């Protein structure tokens, strides 16, 4: 291993003939928190779907665990299961909270995982709601269930797409703390999409700016915020970018 | 009593086959995009509104000794005027309904759900099953609609089954016969049985929906 869990090369994605993504190069290191920031429509969610191997790219490759993923090379289930995404809008199954968290484990044939599920629920502060139907939860609670449901699988990589958009400060704090703990204690690699630069600054080790499907700059968090190379990064960080 | 049993046996078997064909077809049409999908859906919608007598005529022509299938004399192909022939006709009536309503139910599930489920490590098959579970209310409705369409159907079973006493006489054809003979009390009694049967199966289905489907 060379310390890189993902190596993205010349990755492109086209929808209906319209190029959406053109990433020449991005690396993600083992055990880091990597933030993707950028305005709406920049292609952040699209990149995450590709990092989760949910769609095939139009061109280029992603090396994951030194296995190649490309237009004609879908990712094997076993490795795909090492990555889990929490989507931009939490989509819960119409079952109890507990069953939602148990879902991914059941897919893997694990039925005797009650203690793991309880632990995951406790970590996001939802033990009391375990029996409640997931569809009746508030937005913040739902997002926390989605996070617990992904965490319980102990993936190598957790992809978080705007995990705190539209949430109140209490839920934001709780989710950020959970993410930090996960990274610190379990060594989980995190790719975090956010258009909140403050959140990127609070959580990330390295940050990348995406604009119109391209990666403009990748730098460690200090450099990204204090001495960016690209003037567009500087503008984005100062909140001057129009979007 | 044997009329009731036969009704249930014929329609139950037909429903079983329709479900086995219709639900996977509905899920496939609801979840995947392929060339000719629109055509298949158009055909399905036509099938949902097909007059049972036309289905009866079609099956009659196919299965009759001089017909394309009846002429084969294969043991796999049922002869006319048997319960098996009635099952075939009822399948053709019910499976488009099961498939059509299942498709609609599956398409009503949040499209992002499938993606989320795949991200959690589902295989394509597991994802399809999960979406089906989410659509369970609609799927049960599709089965109820399928059953309703055949348990109460007269034209096709009459033509294909022939309403032969002790062999192919079912509730609906018996009701027609008794009414014609003027034995209204028997006709009414049979009608009440038919209604009770429909009601009971629906109650059963709803319990199924509430329990097994709701793990
Ligand atoms: N399945 C799809 N089919 C067609 N176009 C798509 C599809 N998915 C995304 N797009 C387009 O790709 C572009 C990038 O979308 P994407 O969701 O990746 O942006 P984003 O950076 O995540 O934005 P936001 O911050 O608003 O979530 C958008 O213009 C969108 O319309
Ligand atoms: Mg997005």
Phi and psi, residue A69, nearest 5°: -125, 130
Residue A190 confidence (pLDDT) above 60: yes
pLDDT tens digit sequence for B10-33: 999 999 999 999 999 999 999 988
Ligand number, closest to the Cα atom of A44: 1
As annotated, the residues of chain A forming the CATH 3.40.50.300 domain(s) are 1-81+156-164+186-243
DSSP bridge partners of A64: A6, A67
* A153 token code pair: 């699988």
Q: What is the CATH number of domain B2-208?
A: 1.10.3720.10
Mean pLDDT of all residues in B140-149: 92
In what side-by-side order are the strands of the sheet with A59-64? A18-29, A4-15, A59-64, A67-70
Residue B210 confidence (pLDDT) above 90: no
Confidence (pLDDT) at B124 = 93
Confidence (pLDDT) at A243 = 52
Confidence (pLDDT) at A242 = 55
Produce one character per residue of A146-180: b if its CB has 16 or more CB atoms within 10 Å, e if not. Answer: bbbbbbbbebbbbbbbbbbbebeeebbebbbebbe
Domain map (residue ranges) of chain B: 2-208
Q: What is the pTM of this model?
A: 0.88
Mean pLDDT of all residues in B53-76: 87
Would you say the CB of residue A43 lies under 6 angstroms from ligand 1?
yes
CB distance from B124 to chain A under 8 Å?
A: no
CB contact under 8 A, B115 and A54: yes
How would residue B215 be classed by pLDDT, with cut points 50, 70 and 90?
very low
- Looking at 3.40.50.300, 3.40.50.970, 3.30.1490.20, 3.40.50.360, the CATH number of the domain A1-81+156-164+186-243 comes to 3.40.50.300
Mean pLDDT of all residues in B134-147: 92
Residue A138 confidence (pLDDT) above 60: yes
* B67 token code pair: 């017909």
Mutation target for A interface from B33, B110, B112, B120: give the one with most A CBs within 10 A.
B120
């Amino acid at each position: 291993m060379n310390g890189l869990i993902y190596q993205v090369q010349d990755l492109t994605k086209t929808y209906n003939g319209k190029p959406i993504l053109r990433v020449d190069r991005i690396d993600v290191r083992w055990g880091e928190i990597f933030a993707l920031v950028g305005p709406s429509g920049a292609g952040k969610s699209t990149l995450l779907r590709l990092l989760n191997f949910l769609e095939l790219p139009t061109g280029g490759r992603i090396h994951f665990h030194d296995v190649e993923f490309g237009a004609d090379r879908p990712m094997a289930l076993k490795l795909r299961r090492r990555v889990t995404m929490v989507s931009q809008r939490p989509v819960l199954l119409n079952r109890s909270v507990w069953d939602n968290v148990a879902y991914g484990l059941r897919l893997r044939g694990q039925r005797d995982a009650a203690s793991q599920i309880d632990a995951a629920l406790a970590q996001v502060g939802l033990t009391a709601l375990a029996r409640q139907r997931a569809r009746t939860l508030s937005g913040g609670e739902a997002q926390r269930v989605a996070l617990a449901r992904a965490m319980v699988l102990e993936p190598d990589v957790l992809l978080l797409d705007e995990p705190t958009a539209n949430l109140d400060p209490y839920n934001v704090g709780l989710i950020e703390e959970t993410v930090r703990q996960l990274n610190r204690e379990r060594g989980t690699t995190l790719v975090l999409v956010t258009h909140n630069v403050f959140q990127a600054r609070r959580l990330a080790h390295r940050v990348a700016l995406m604009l119109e499907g391209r990666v403009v700059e990748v730098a460690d968090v200090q450099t990204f915020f204090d001495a960016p190379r690209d003037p567009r990064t500087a503008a984005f960080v100062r909140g001057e970018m129009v979007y | 009593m044997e009329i009731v049993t036969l009704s249930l046996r014929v329609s139950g078997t037909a429903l079983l086959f329709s479900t086995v064909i219709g639900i996977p077809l509905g899920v496939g049409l609801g979840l995947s995009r392929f060339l000719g999908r629109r055509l298949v859906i158009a055909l399905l919608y036509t099938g949902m509104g097909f007059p049972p007598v036309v289905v009866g005529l079609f099956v009659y022509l196919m299965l009759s000794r001089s017909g394309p299938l009846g002429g084969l004399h294969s043991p796999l192909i049922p002869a006319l005027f048997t319960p098996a022939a009635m099952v075939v006709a009822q399948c053709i009536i019910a499976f488009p309904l099961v498939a059509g309503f299942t498709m609609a139910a599956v398409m009503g599930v949040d499209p992002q759900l499938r993606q989320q489920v795949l991200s959690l490590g589902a295989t394509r098959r597991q994802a399809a099953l999960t979406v089906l579970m989410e659509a369970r209310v609609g799927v049960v409705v599709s089965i109820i609609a399928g059953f309703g369409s055949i348990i109460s159907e007269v034209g096709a079973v009459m033509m294909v089954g022939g309403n032969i006493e002790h062999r192919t006489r079912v509730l609906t054809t018996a009701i027609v016969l008794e009414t014609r003979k003027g034995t209204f009390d028997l006709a009414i009694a049979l009608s009440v049985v038919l209604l009770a049967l429909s009601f009971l199966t629906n109650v059963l289905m709803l319990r199924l929906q509430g329990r097994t489907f709701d793990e």
